[in-house]
Structure 1
């Protein structure tokens, strides 16, 4: 009856296989981000093309920094909207986190843009009536705007379990922060004219209207009115 231990060495855990399948969107988005890094620079937002992460679009989203520790969701796949029970575009990313954990979450977001860093957060949803156990993993990576500042982000979120009643907000179980680039390498692309936007993750923009210079004289048109009453 010996040899049982030898057989165990060749057993593949079904749980590990399921976890790998579940996190496939995270790996695809992260690999895509690394593929966009050129010469040690953080990728530009305009370089992101959804065709590169086609199989992960449901879980992917784009961010915009609105304060050192805050970012809002610009564009998001359907999974985030399913978790919140509403369209999440324009909402703070911290809306997915329980209020008691948002300071800690904000500290992590600060590292995302300031270092810059890649964030991986292990999350657990709050329980309650109609809210079964739910775990999630969030991945956040920095992007540069068209003007070169680190104020955009690419992310992905996958969950494991039934969503149940929305909204589902999460407690932070663990945060992993790793440098986005090698130390001593330029963190952001040089400032240049805005590049053309990629067709993917399209965002509406207000049309540009040229404003008159303040010192430009305003032309006034007068009309002669003749009265014959006298």
Structure 2
């Protein structure tokens, strides 16, 4: 079979305006809950796209760690390529590909660094092995062999064997403050349903003020 012949119908149901919640964060949380109940692999996995100083886009998958009216939160090494690109251009996009339930969510917004208190609270909740890994990996730097990374991990594991692990100064989180949130539901005959919520910039300090429009598939 050739690639051009690979296709399938989307039959799991449509999405109508009357079914949408007024606040897209509430709608997102509903869909996320349904993705979890459907036992999707990695339902919190999201692609984050950034752009470097030459205008070259980059994408990678990170895990959503919290979400609320203020935005979508993930954590990373602050020396990583994505963090450097965000520092130069804080405009990013997120994408949740929930293929099994024929849904996608696309978000555009601005990345804002989390406070030291927020970073500490989450870091201390992580498994000890993940805390050590944060220290061991100089994310996005070049490695000549995997053994170097594993050796560093074992060295740090021994160092921190009998005490608490401090939060690295080069590790922290970002909150993506959304400007738009689009919900995509697959439909039969490629007549997909798409609704985009856009933040109403004319309303000051009201996180629940959104306009919604249907988009052609």
TM-score (norm 1): 0.25
Larger radius of gyration: 1
Indicate the structure with greater strand content. Answer: 2
Q: TM-score, normalised by structure 2?
A: 0.27
